[in-house]
Amino acid sequence: MPRTYLDHASGSPLRPAAFDAMVPYLRDHPGDPGRVHTEGRTTRVAVEDARAQVAGLFGSRPREVVFTASGTEAINTAVWGATSGRAVDAHVVTTAVEHSAVRDALERAPVAVTTVGVDGLGRFDAGAVIDAIRPDTVLVSVQGANHEVGTTQPALEIIAACRERSVLVHVDACMAAGHLPVDFGGSGPDLLSVTGYKLGGPRGTAALLVRRGLRLAPFVVGGAQERARRGGAEDVAGIVGFGAACAELAADGRLALEADVARIQTDRLVAGATAAVAGVRVYGDPVGRVPNLVCLGVDGVEAEPVLLGLDQHGVAVHSGSSCSSELLEPSPVLAAMGVDAEHSLRISVGWSTTDADIDAFLSAFPDVVTKLRALRS
């Protein structure tokens, strides 16, 4: 049975251009970029070319790009760098719908934390975030778009207020990157985290963009790589693939074109699912969202059996329920929104999604839900 992959928000397939760019650095070029021999200089040039490609997509200077092994590491680096070495009474503002990488990093940091709530669409109020800033606030960490329901956030509205108060701003753009325009230089945050594997780069690639002139303590230590901002040997092939994926998206309006196609596909998916099955609704903002992701609530049946039923039909999606990860708890994002995570499905498309993939979901979804509801009754 052919498979239909609709979980691009967890990780998108590798773009052919990224694969082709990586092959020489997997096969022919073993040199450490930190060495002065020819082999090292060859891979150093490749890393710096990729850095410029990533910077080009996200509107930054190449020197502002710090490569990391995941979006989680990029976020941890931002939180650690902004809070380490501070007084024990330092304060951070964040929101109730941030990724667990933000929440868990702040739990370890020697800071007090104010968590701003969200509305029923999963959107925080920029004014509430600004009002939560105190004289001892050292960092505001907010997302650009939500990773569970796709709702876009008013992150840019808080930057000027934070700058007036000399408070660092970190924006988690891991969900937005590659699906919405992201302009680091123009928007003005101090720190911005992005991932490569959600936009068609290789898994294990990401970056933290650090505003020029800002000096942060490194999170990963043990070497002077990345201009002493992140220790450890560089994954040259992965970085090259990340750069190639970014270059493809930056060329000839490709990002906007893919976003338009994704919006058409997800709009059709929502329309088809809600028309075919009673008791299906959209969680999050149906309009103000990333174009490639929708989250559906399904009455009368829990998400886990729906997810497994779809998988048996060859369709891969994600869920906000406890079955979606190793954690035995529902999504904190959906809980903060006041909706039932145990009845949610997250469906996300990407650069390789076809109309046939949407057809496959719309064919399988009514059959799966109808049979499961019949079993319950």
SS3 label, residue 157: helix
How far is residue 147's CA from residue 10's CA, in Å, rounded to a whole number? Answer: 9
User: Which of 288, 218, 241, 190 lies closest to 73, judged by CA?
Assistant: 218
How far is residue 10's CA from residue 198's CA, in Å, rounded to a whole number? Answer: 7
How far is residue 308's CA from residue 315's CA, in Å, rounded to a whole number? Answer: 9
Count Cβ atoms below 10 Å from residue 16 Cβ, excluding itself: 12
- Say which of 162, 246, 295, 323 is annotated catalytic: 323
Count Cα neighbours of 50 within 13 Å in the Cβ-side half-sphere: 32
Q: Which residues pair with 170 in a beta bridge?
A: 141, 191
How far is residue 33's CA from residue 47's CA, in Å, rounded to a whole number? Answer: 8
| Sheet of 191-195, strands arranged across | 65-68, 206-210, 191-195, 168-172, 137-143, 91-95, 112-116
- Residue 250 · residue 53 · CB < 8 Å: yes
- Strand blocks (E) in the chain: 4-5, 65-68, 91-95, 112-116, 137-143, 168-172, 191-195, 206-210, 280-283, 293-298, 315-316, 344-348
Q: Which residues pair with 301 in a beta bridge?
A: none
323 a catalytic residue: yes
* Strands 168-172 vs 137-143: parallel, antiparallel or unpaired: parallel
How far is residue 55's CA from residue 173's CA, in Å, rounded to a whole number? Answer: 14
Residue type, 14: L
How far is residue 358's CA from residue 356's CA, in Å, rounded to a whole number? Answer: 5
How far is residue 341's CA from residue 237's CA, in Å, rounded to a whole number? Answer: 38
At residue 371's C-alpha, the angle toward residues 366 and 377, to 5°, is: 125
At residue 97's C-alpha, the angle toward residues 334 and 75, to 5°, is: 135
Please name the residue that has the structure tokens 């650090």: 210
How far is residue 254's CA from residue 262's CA, in Å, rounded to a whole number? Answer: 12
**Catalytic annotation, residues:** 323
